[in-house]
Each structure stands twice: as C-alpha cells, then as structure tokens.
C-alpha cells in the first residue's frame, strides 16, 4: 500500500514538473521576465536551466525515484520555488508567477512557500516499488498526453474568444 501511495505521489509530482517544463519552454519571454523581476540574472540561461531541471526531475522521479540525485534535484527545485516566492513576497510587488508559462497569471508569493512541504514529501517519500524503465516512460507519456487532452478545451475556448473583432461604434 505504501509503495502504491509513494508511486502515486512521485507520478503526480513528475506530471506537474513535466507540464510546468513544457509550459515554461513555450513561454520563454514571460518566464525570463519573472526571473528578471525577482532580481536574478542571466534570465535566458536560468530559463533554460529551469526547464531542463524540471523535465529532468520529472524523468528521474519516474525512472529512478529512490536515487539520491533525484531526491536532491526535486528538493532543490522545491526550495528554489519557495525561495522565489519569498523573494517576490518580500519585494511587495506583484510578479507574475509564470509557473505554468503564459497561462499562469497568478502572482509569485506565499503560494510557492506553502507548496514546499509537498515537494519535500515528493523528494523524500520512500520508493518501495520503483517502476521499470518501460512502465515509467509509459506512465509519463500518459501524463503528458492526458495533460494535452485536458488543455485542449481551454485552448479552444481561447481561440473562440479571440475571433476577429470590431470596435464598438456609437450611432
């Protein structure tokens, strides 16, 4: 039972990281703006590093959940998210999170700090029954495909909202 729960937690964390990495890869401008806004440089390189780290952590959580490197990477990501949230909160200005790329307009702040325990659990949960390489990749593929299907509906809504417009004209 513990093994199933641990696998579920790690798969969920991997899914979130994979979707976040894809979203950040698709909106480099917004993520770089967020990185610059919290005072970090160079934004472009940090953006690439962040996307790589998130995607790598997602893969590692599935393929080698018990490895020390995996735990360290997930923990480092969780801490960096919380640190960014604290930095933004301490500045007192609203900085767009861009946690999930362009579609995430929520402000960076205490939300990321509150999420830290979740990342700690995902990093430290015992990996009682790690998935095999094939099963792990299959699970991650399912997560990516499922996320795509779930995201397709909002995309259609956005396309519908953005049909050609004409301005209001008073008679």
Partner 1 sequence: MIALTALVLVVAVLVLVCLFALMDQYRTLEEVRDHLGTGDAPRPLTHPVGPIVASEIGLPASLDGAEHAVVLFLSTTCATCATVARSLRGALPDDLHVVVRTPTTGVGAEWCDDVGLRSGTVTLATDDRIADAFGLRVTPAGFVLSHDRIAAAQTVPSPRQLQALLDQRAQLAVGPPPANTAPDADGGRSWITT
The region, left, alpha or beta by phi > 0 then psi within -120 to 50, assigned to residue 125 is: beta
CA distance 85 to 37: 12
Binding-site string for partner 1 from residue 55 to residue 74, where x marks contact by CB under 8 A and - marks none: x-------------------
Binding-site string for partner 1 from residue 24 to residue 53, where x marks contact by CB under 8 A and - marks none: -xxx--x-----------------------
Sort 170 into a burial class: Cβ within 10 Å, 0-12 / 13-18 / 19+.
exposed
Q: At a CB cut-off of 8 Å and minimum separation 6, what does 75 contact?
A: 119, 120, 123, 124
Residue 94 or 124 having the CB closest to partner 1:
94
Span 138-167, contacts to partner 1 by CB under 8 A: 138, 140-141, 144-145, 147-148, 151-152, 154-155, 158-163, 165-167
Least CB distance to partner 1 at residue 95 (A): 16
Angle between helices 28-37 and 43-63 (to 10 degrees): 110
Binding site for partner 1 (CB under 8 A): 18-19, 22-23, 25-27, 30, 55, 100-103, 133-134, 137-138, 140-141, 144-145, 147-148, 151-152, 154-155, 158-163, 165-171
């Amino acid at each position: 039972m513990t093994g199933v729960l641990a696998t579920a937690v790690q798969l969920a964390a991997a899914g979130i990281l994979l979707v976040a990495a894809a979203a950040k890869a698709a909106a480099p401008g917004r993520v770089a703006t967020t990185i610059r806004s919290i005072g970090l440089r160079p934004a472009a390189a940090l953006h690439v590093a962040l996307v790589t780290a998130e995607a790598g952590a997602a893969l590692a959580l599935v393929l080698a959940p018990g490895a020390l490197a995996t735990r360290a990477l997930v923990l480092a990501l969780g801490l960096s998210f919380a640190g960014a949230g604290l930095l933004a909160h301490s500045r007192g200005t609203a900085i767009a999170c861009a946690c999930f790329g362009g579609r995430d307009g929520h402000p960076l702040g205490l939300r990321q700090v509150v999420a830290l325990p979740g990342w700690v659990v995902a990093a430290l949960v015992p990996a009682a029954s790690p998935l095999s390489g094939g099963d792990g990749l299959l699970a991650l593929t399912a997560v990516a495909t499922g996320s795509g299907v779930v995201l397709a509906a909002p995309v259609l809504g956005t396309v519908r909202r953005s049909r050609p417009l004409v301005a209001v004209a008073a008679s």
